Amino acid sequence: MKKLVVITGASSGIGATTAKTLSTQGYPLLLLGRRIDKMEALNLPNTLCRKVDILDVTSFQSAIQEAEAKFGPVDCLINNAGVMLLGKPEKQALTEWNQMIDVNIKGLLNGIHLVLEGMTQRNHGTIINISSIAGRKTFSDHAIYCGTKFAVHAISENIRQEVSNSNVRVSIVAPGVTETELMDHTTNSAIVDGYKEWKKTMGAGLDSQDVANAISYIYNQPQRVCIREVVLAPTKQDS
């Protein structure tokens, strides 16, 4: 049997599509998110779904231990869970800033912390962190979201260097606009409308399958090959 892959934020969008894609390829999966009904509805074989808020390290760790007892050690962690709450910096609630920092940075770090040491001891493993094009450059109304994704880029590349000698790969996927639920949580309706207008100029965002294909490509390389970063966006996305 293939080795265990853990996907955070597997209840919708890129995470759910990646789960379906890797399951078709025969990987056993641990799917994590708060909406367990959505993950169970995927009905994938050799798959454990657990209701986990990635900020709760105890339940995150228990789910991984349970999956490892069933399928063996985690060979790949896909740190995908994230939130994007766009806002005007002088107006946005501090709670929204903190939520992005907590989920996009601290939640991602929780995942890395739970699996990295074991991977280095086994001299095998892959961590794929889902960042964003907003982790490479800034966009209006994205200040804190960009800050969290710049952090994902920096943390990923730094850890990659430090564990490379243990045969552990750390990769970044940085998508542009993708058709998912991500934008549904922004509370400023004028910003949501503006985003929709911007999206129209590019026809449509990427399909979540486009991003899942990039994740699958990275993971399915021989272990000696580390694709350090994939940046993908709609051809008509100009920024």
What phi and psi values does residue 82 have, to the nearest 5 degrees?
Answer: -165, 160
195 catalytic per annotation: no
The yes or no reply on residue 117 touching ligand NDP (CB under 6 A) is: no
User: CA 143 to CA 86: how far, in whole Å?
Assistant: 8
20 binds ligand NDP (CB under 6 A): no
Binding residue for ligand NDP, selected from 40, 53, 68, 157, defined by CB under 6 A: 53
- Asked whether position 67 contacts ligand NDP by CB under 6 A, the answer is no
Tell me: does residue 82 bind ligand NDP (CB under 6 A): yes
CB count within 10 Å of CB 83 equals 18
Closest CA to 133 of 145, 118, 123: 145
Q: How far is the CB of 88 from ligand NDP (least distance, A)?
A: 20
Contacts of 228 (CB under 8 A, 6+ apart): 157, 160, 171, 172
Candidates 42-50, 62-70, 164-172, 173-181: pick the segment binding ligand NDP (CB under 6 A): 173-181
| Separation CA 4–CA 28 (nearest Å) | 5
Residue 182 binds ligand NDP, judged by CB under 6 A: yes
Maximum pairwise Cα distance, the chain = 52
**Is residue 178 a contact point for ligand NDP (CB under 6 A)?**
yes
What is the C-alpha to C-alpha distance for residues 182 and 190, in angstroms, rounded to an integer?
16
Applying CB under 6 A, among 28, 111, 175, 234 the residue interacting with ligand NDP is: 175
For residue 167, the minimal CB distance to ligand NDP (Å) is 26
- Which residues in this chain contact ligand NDP in the complex, by CB under 6 A? 8-9, 11-15, 33-35, 53-55, 80-84, 103, 107, 130, 132, 175, 177-178, 180-182, 205
